[in-house]
Amino acid sequence: MIPTKWIYRFDELGKEHNDIVGKKCASLGEMTRAGFQVPPGFALALEAYDRFMKETGAIEEVRQYLTTFSADPNNPADMSKYEEASEVIRGIVESKEMPQDMEDVIRQYYDGLCQMTGISDIPVATRSAGPASHPGQYETYLYVRGGSEVMENIIKVWSSTFNQRSIIARARLGLPLEYDPVGVAVLKMVNARAAGVMFTLNPVTGDPSKIVIDGNWGLGESVVSGSVTPDEWMVDKVILEITKVIVSPKLKEYVLDTKTGRTMFVDIPPDRQNAPCLSREEILELAKIGKKIEDHYGIAQDTEWAIDNDLPFPENVFMLQCRPEQVWSQRKKEPLLGKKSGYELLMEKALTPTKVKL
Amino acid sequence: MAEKKVARFPDPHEYVEKEVPPELEGWEEMYPPHFLFGKEREEWEKKQFWYLDKIHAPEPMPPLDQIFQQAWQISLSQHTTRVFCIPPAQGIAHRMIGCYQYICAIEPPPEEVIKEKAELFGVRAHYPIEHYDELWDEWLGRMQALGREMEGIKVPQELPKYMPAEEVAPNPYRGYSPGYELIEAFDRANDCMYKGWQYHFNYLNLSYLYYLTFGDVARKLFPGISESTIGKMVAGAEVSMFRPEEELCRLAREAHAVPKVAEVLRKEAPAARKIEELRKFDAGQAWLDELEGIREPWLYISCGSGWYYYEGSWVNKLDVPFGYLKGYLERLAKGEKIERSLSKIAEARDKLISEYRKLIKTDEDRSSFDSAYKDCRVIYRYAEDHLFWVEHWFHTIWWDKMREIGRVLVKCGALKEEDDIFMFNRLEVPTVIEDAVTTWALGEGVPMLKWGERAQRRREILQAATKWSPTPALGVPPEEVAEPFTIMLWGVTTDKVAEWLKGMAVVPEEVTEIKGFASSFGVVEGTARVLKSLEDVVNLQEGEIMVCPSSNPAWAPVFTKIKASVTDIGGLTSHAAIVCREYGVPAVTGTGIATSVIKTGDKIRVDGDSGIVTILERA
């Protein structure tokens, strides 16, 4: 039997690998392959989770423990039971060492990343990548440095499939509690000066000719979570010109504490609060990338991006994620002009005065 | 920004009475009585909404120059109401206040009239689209014939002491004197101009209406698409208005190929001196012959908009085109490009259309879009082509004719200088001429009225008026606007009216930031040059920021000199926006108040990304 491949470089992946490595990894792979600038890295397939859980005996221990566990996920009084179960199970998983053969391979990939970027012990993020969409359910660890930390944090990501929220979610859906394989993306940390989201249509009106970029200083979390009012730019997709600019007062940003790897929500100094977090050339570069991404996938996209503080433009513009836009793309396409000819439209126009409202 | 709350615009009658500065006393006499606000029509006038026409009349109006305004009030309006019968639209009425022109789109007619017109309109609007090419050829032939007719009007050199012997006896006497000839010359030129302005609007109302229709279609499919993008989709590259500039570029290239010619043209000297030098050698003469070849019609282009006598035309202010030629040659010497590539512009436009078209989600919409676009492209050419032939070529002939008549009036002592003729309106000039001719006819020792002194007084009034900034609007804002020009040219919409209301309460000296449309991208800082009078274009220095009421195609060559452009007005046809983008110069248009707030020499920042102009330092 040929052993199943359980680790991939991003450029070996594409969207067809969704169920093998998880959506986020497949998407990063697809973007890398299509030539978009995503942080370099590699992906651990669901298979790696499976091997780890089985070869270390973790899955047996978890099953053993669960034979004694009983709780109702719809009963609020039982929530503490799930909390306890989560603690126990995560304890079991995190007490296991990475099997030696796996560790050797992962270290090879990590060293490869260090060589490629020319940075020894390069800081990476370890992100979970579920095969189905469970956004935000599992955990992500930032600023992980060196082989041992990488091993430790990959295991932590796996173990996060047993966080309380996830166990309850599985219990509610009637899924097995002891097993929920996820992929892990290990990618270079972007030292984000500014970050945010970009839609390749106007999410408010559905106008397909617009790209809308929201951004704040620091990591993208503040924009994604909606905890600040970001700067907003609208760019015309065809002529690639900025058609609307809203520079908001930005009071707080997420920055990384490199010692703990944790993010901190800190005050933005006054001189940066009212300054736009992107330059004109960065905005236009993002829009160009957005346009290409949409062309590549053939459908409007909802993306995350970051601007790296250490690299020169345009190498500093990174795409972190993209997924199909959900709202407008799902709607039934109705003609907006009522199936009229140019002549009928003229008659309509000529008969309708323009309202002036004050 | 300093603001107080303003509920509505001033009452026009009270405004005329209280707000016109005393230095302008006597201004009413300069214009025909039906152009004045007055008791007889007070009730109606007070109910209307009047706004300052900064597009056609940014400057105080010299009386004779008002002829075009008088002509278009009738011609524009009748083509809407009586010829093409645009259903709810009516005409545009004019009034003068202190030498400034206010206009008013009259509210829609009663419902039964709208219905009646709708039936007529249906047929009349469609025909020109289907026959445009023939109609255009016919139109151009008609216009050119009229121009030649005007050019052919004979103006006597002088009112001679005695008619020359050979015109009386022994040859047969033709039956009328040079005095009569002078009277006739003005009347005929006057008729030609009036008729030319009848032609001016032949297809213009429709072309704007088709443009607005296409604009609506584009906005429904792509909400928030910019006006200038719509303009770019529709704009033709090979239209008559661009020809003068193209011809100059061509001549510059030819000169560039002959170093001796180029050397003369690059000198810092008046055009007359350069011509004299070029005449002295064969290659120079050959180049002058080329120039002569394009003189008519392509140098018949106004140095401004064509609406003011003092602007002059390239053909009789050769320093202007020679200045441009000098600039082109300097750029050619540096290996720079001087021409706009027409095929590139056309290509860019086609790409623009096809990319937006691809974004349309349903076949039905795509087919509606295609149909509206096709119709608009067919007839919008008219809006671009008529401009050269009427406002530039035809007007140039008129200005020359008027000066010819002015010279005779100076010779016979009626006026002090030839341009004095422009100080009398088109209904008064016949009186001036008649008085001059009468005095001449009566014999020796008969006094004339002192027309020269009146002209001088009127110049002073006009001069005083340039220092006055009248209110942007008067009366009651309407609930709806149906008149296509009002929306298209003046951009009178909810936002515009609100902007004017806001502007009413502004104290210019206290303003540090003004807002307009982000029309061309980029951010620059620099020194402002306010071009309130179109003659100021000559003063514009390399690298300055141009601040003007609105720019027009004849200024094309200045866009290579300036760092940025700011305008008061930029409707749907904003020329400044389109040209600035072509040259990559930042622009903020439609600020409403730039020329009254910014002064020449102020340090300003133009942010073409956000549409904000900041006054950094007052001069």
Choose among B125, B226, B609: nearest Cβ to A236: B226
CA atoms within 13 A on the CB side of A10: 29
Is the per-residue pLDDT at B565 higher than 70? yes
Please tell me which of the candidates A338, A342, A347 has its beta carbon nearest to residue B371: A342
Among the partner residues A209, A340, A349, nearest to B225 by beta-carbon distance: A209
A235 and A287 Cβ atoms separated by less than 8 Å? yes
pLDDT in tens, B357-382: 999 989 999 999 999 999 999 998 89
Distance CA B366, CA A336 (A): 10
Chain B environment of A210 (Cβ under 8 Å): 222, 224
pLDDT bin (cut points 50, 70, 90) of residue B327 is: confident
How many whole angstroms separate alpha carbon B35 and alpha carbon B37?
7
Closest by Cβ to B86, choosing from A209, A350, A357: A350
Q: What is the DSSP letter of A188?
A: E
Q: What is the mean pLDDT of residues A5-30?
A: 92
Is residue B246 a contact partner of residue B328, using CB atoms and an 8 Å limit? no
Which residues of chain A does B126 touch, with a Cβ-Cβ cutoff of 8 Å? 343
Contacts of A247 in chain B (CB under 8 A): 610
The string of pLDDT tens digits covering residues A87-102 is 999 999 999 999 999 9
pLDDT at B503: 67
Where does the pLDDT of residue B505 fall: very low under 50, low under 70, confident under 90, or very high at 90 and above? low
Write down the mean pLDDT value for chain B: 89
Orientation angle between helical segments B575-583 and B227-234, nearest 10 degrees: 80
DSSP assignments along A36-94, one per residue? -----EEEE-HHHHHHHHHHTSHHHHHHHHHHT----TT-GGGHHHHHHHHHHHHHHHH
| Nearest-CA distance B400 → chain A (Å) | 40
Cis peptide before A314 (omega within 30 of 0): yes
Which residues of chain B make contact with A275, given a CB cutoff of 8 A?
Answer: none
Cβ-contact B11, B46 below 8 angstroms: yes
Report the pLDDT averaged over residues A256-264. Answer: 83
Kindly identify which residue of chain B lies nearest to residue A246, measuring between CA atoms.
B610
pLDDT of residue B506: 65
Q: How many Å apart are CA B476 and CA A178, to the nearest integer?
A: 75
- Tell me which of B233, B360, B523, B572 to substitute to probe the interface with A (most A C-beta atoms closer than 10 Å): B360
Q: Sort out which chain B residues have CB atoms less than 8 A from A347's CB and list them.
A: 118, 121-122, 125
For the beta carbon of residue B451, count every other beta carbon within 10 angstroms: 24
Contact (CB<8Å) A354/B482: yes
Percent of chain A scored above 70 by pLDDT? Answer: 96
Assess whether pLDDT exceeds 90 at residue B226.
Answer: no
pLDDT band at B4 (very low <50, low <70, confident <90, very high): very low
Average pLDDT over residues A285-312: 93
Give yes or no for residue B491 having a pLDDT over 70: no
Check residue B427 and report its DSSP letter. T
How high is the pLDDT of residue B6?
Answer: 44
Q: What is the tens place of the pLDDT at every residue in A173-201?
A: 888 888 889 999 999 999 999 999 999 99
**From the CA of B87, how many Å to the nearest CA of chain A?**
6
Residue in B51, B130, B216 to test binding to A, most A beta-carbons within 10 Å = B216
A212 forms bridges with which residues in the sheet? A199, A234
- In chain B, the residue whose alpha carbon lies closest to the alpha carbon of A331 is B361
ipTM above 0.95, yes or no: no
**Are residues B355 and A238, on separate chains, in Cβ contact within 8 Å?**
yes
Q: Please report the pLDDT score of residue A222 as a whole number.
A: 87
Q: Does the distance separating the beta carbons of B213 and A337 come in below 8 Å?
A: no
Does B213 sit within 8 Å of A346, measured CB to CB? yes
* Residues 277-336, chain A, touching B (beta carbon < 8 A): 280, 333-336
| Burial bucket for residue B281 (CB in 10 Å: 0-12, 13-18, 19+) | middle
The residue of chain B with its CA nearest to that of A355 is B480
Enumerate the residues of chain B whose CB falls inside 8 A of the CB of residue A237. 355, 359
Distance CA B619, CA B483 (A): 41
Query: What is the rounded CA–CA span in Å between residue A257 and residue B614?
Result: 39
Flag whether pLDDT at B466 surpasses 50: yes
pLDDT in the model for residue B572: 42
> What is the average pLDDT value for chain A, to the nearest integer?
89
Smallest Cβ–Cβ distance between B521 and the set A242, A335, A347 belongs to: A242
Q: How far apart are CA A279 and CA B451, in angstroms?
A: 63
Q: How far apart are CA A50 and CA A77, in angstroms?
A: 32
Average pLDDT over residues B138-159: 97
| Cα gap B284→B263, rounded to integer Å | 11
A356 within 8 A of B494, measured Cβ to Cβ: yes
| Whether B268 contacts B502, CB under 8 Å | no
CA distance A140 to B422: 80
How confident is the model over B181-189, as a mean pLDDT?
98
- Distance from the B111 Cα atom to the nearest Cα atom in chain A, whole angstroms: 11
Of B580, B555, B571, B561, nearest in space to B304 by CA: B555
pLDDT, residue A135, reads: 47
Q: Which of A181, A140, A249, A134 is nearest to A4 (CA)?
A: A181
Which of B217, B368, B477 is nearest residue A358 as measured by Cβ atoms?
B477
User: Measured between alpha carbons, how far is A248 from A274 in angstroms, rounded to an integer?
Assistant: 6
How much is the pLDDT for B5? 41
Q: Is the distance from CB of A234 to CB of A244 less than 8 angstroms? A: yes
- pLDDT band (50, 70, 90) for residue B184: very high
Q: Which letter, b or e, does each residue of B407-440 get, where b requires 16 or more Cβ atoms within 10 Å of its Cβ? A: bbbbbbebbeebbbbbbbbbebbeebbeebbebb
Higher pLDDT, residue A326 or B61:
B61
* Segment (H or E) for A356: none
Please tell me if residue A239 touches chain B, with a CB cutoff of 8 Å.
yes
Choose, out of A207, A212, A236, A239, the residue to mutate when testing the contact with B (most B CBs < 10 Å). Answer: A239
What is the distance between the alpha carbons of residues A324 and A327, in angstroms, rounded to a whole number? 9
How far apart are the CA of A350 and the nearest CA of chain B, in angstroms?
6
pLDDT band at B512 (very low <50, low <70, confident <90, very high): confident
Mean pLDDT of the region A280-305: 94
Q: Do the beta carbons of residue A358 and residue B477 sit within 8 Å? A: yes
At A222-239, the pLDDT tens digits run 888 778 889 999 999 998
pLDDT digits (tens, 9 = 90+) for A57-80: 999 999 999 999 989 888 888 888
Contacting residues of A for B222, CB less than 8 Å apart: 207-210
Give the pLDDT confidence of B542-561 residue by residue, as tens digits. 889 999 877 666 666 777 78
Touching check for A209 and chain B: CB below 8 Å?
A: yes
Residues of chain A in contact with residue B365, where contact means CB-CB under 8 angstroms, are 335-337
How far lies B336's CA from each of B106, B333, B583, in Å?
A: 50, 7, 13
Q: Give the model's confidence band at A343: pLDDT under 50 very low, under 70 low, under 90 confident, else very high.
A: confident
Sequence letter at residue B324: Y
- Please report which confidence band the pLDDT of residue B573 belongs to, taking 50, 70 and 90 as the band edges: very low
Lowest mean pLDDT among A142-146, B1-5, B447-451, B601-605: B1-5
Could you tell me which of A19, A22, A69 has the C-alpha nearest to residue A43? A22
Q: What is the model's pTM?
A: 0.79
Would you call A347 and B122 a contact, using CB atoms and an 8 Å cutoff?
yes
Mutate to test the interface with A, among B115, B126, B367, B502 (most CBs of A within 10 A): B367
- pLDDT computed for residue B517 by the predictor: 75
Q: What is the DSSP string of B96-151?
A: EETTEEEEEEPPP--HHHHHHHHHHHHHHHHHHHHTHHHHHHHHHHHHHHHHHHHH
User: What's the confidence (pLDDT) of residue B3?
Assistant: 38
